[in-house]
Amino acid sequence: MINKIAVFTSGGDSPGMNACIRAVVLTAKHFNIDVLGYIKGYEGLIDNVYQKLLPENLKDSVHRGGTILKSARSQRFMEEKFRLQAAENLKKEDVQGIIAIGGDGTFKGALAFEAQCSLPVIGCAGTIDNDLVGTDFTIGYDTAINTVIEAIDKIRDTAQSHDRIFVVEVMGRDAGLIALRSAIGSGADALLIPELKSDMKELASKIEKWKKEGGSRIIIVSEGDESGGAFKVAEFIKTAWPLADVKVSVLGHIQRGGNPTCMERVNAGITGYHAVKALLDGKKSEMVGIVNKTVTYTPFEKAVKHHTKIKPELELLLSVLSA
């Protein structure tokens, strides 16, 4: 019997987190469950800083980016004494289940927390990187790539006006999924991501072709690519082609903000609803995901960041469409 749960957002913020919080609270109300929203993720658990969440508090939240519960990357939670403190705080408040909205670090923290806290934890995948196993799209990814596409469309206008080469850096320290879909969707001329190790050789070959053809070009670089980022790529191009007019645009944290897309809001609603249902069904240490339009549950140890290879068909598609 569960009558009180905790929810928090942790790690990097992502559009759609508020829609997920709202779904958790409305679903909990349907089952007569109280919800405590802890502020700044694991930091809130440690310091026992929370607010009771009511549906009326969330009327205007579904369309807002960021997270009304704030977020943080808690260094303290890595220490056992602070995890014990968090567990004691939850016990005092009579919390009987936890819903954690976040990504890789959030779920690793939940796994470590199990040693100090017997409460069941269910995760909702909230990260713009889309780098978790067990869901087709994480909360925030669709909005982030649409933000990138919008920015590149505008950059292309000025690139074409001056026959410039623009090197656009997007987020993705360990995974290039934002860059990959953005490259296909924006019609980019080249892509450099951590998963593709031969991309600099291919870029050098393309530069020789561009010298003959002229015109503007868009190159998308994931911030974690082994090339060293957009500025290093720009230096490489200038060395290979001294006459080229090369500019760099680092999109940075605008990719985290903005109103979540419709797809984002729907997926966040589905996962938030099923996270509450999972607690009621006795599940624990699992992430709620959506795979092939079906709700799935993946153990945290399998969901946390697994580096997967880019599908060969996507590589081929990119090479054909950027030729």
Per-residue model confidence (pLDDT) at position 202: 86
Q: Is 281 a catalytic residue?
A: no
What confidence score (pLDDT) does residue 224 get? 79
Which DSSP string do the residues of 8-62 spell out, in sequence order?
EE-SS--TTHHHHHHHHHHHHHHTT-EEEEETTTHHHHHHT-EEEE-GGGGTT-T
The confidence score (pLDDT) of residue 236 equals 95
**The pLDDT of residue 309:** 67
Domains of the chain: 4-140+260-303 (3.40.50.450), 143-256 (3.40.50.460)
> For residue range 101-131, what is the model confidence (pLDDT) as tens digits?
999 999 999 999 988 899 999 999 999 999 9
In this predicted structure, what is the pLDDT of residue 163?
96
- What does the pLDDT read at residue 13? 96
Nearest 5 degrees, angle CA 208-CA 209-CA 212? 95
**Number of CB atoms found within 10 A of residue 269's CB:** 19
Considering the entire predicted model, what is its pTM? Answer: 0.94
Catalytic pick among 13, 104, 129, 131: 129
DSSP-H helix ranges across 167-307: 177-186, 199-213, 230-240, 262-280, 300-303
Sequence-distant (≥ 6) Cβ neighbours of residue 182 within 8 angstroms: 145, 148, 149, 152, 170, 188, 220
Kindly state the helix (H) or strand (E) to which residue 298 belongs, with its residue range: strand 294-299
Q: What is the pLDDT of residue 57?
A: 86
Regions in the chain scoring below 70 on pLDDT: 198, 305-309, 323
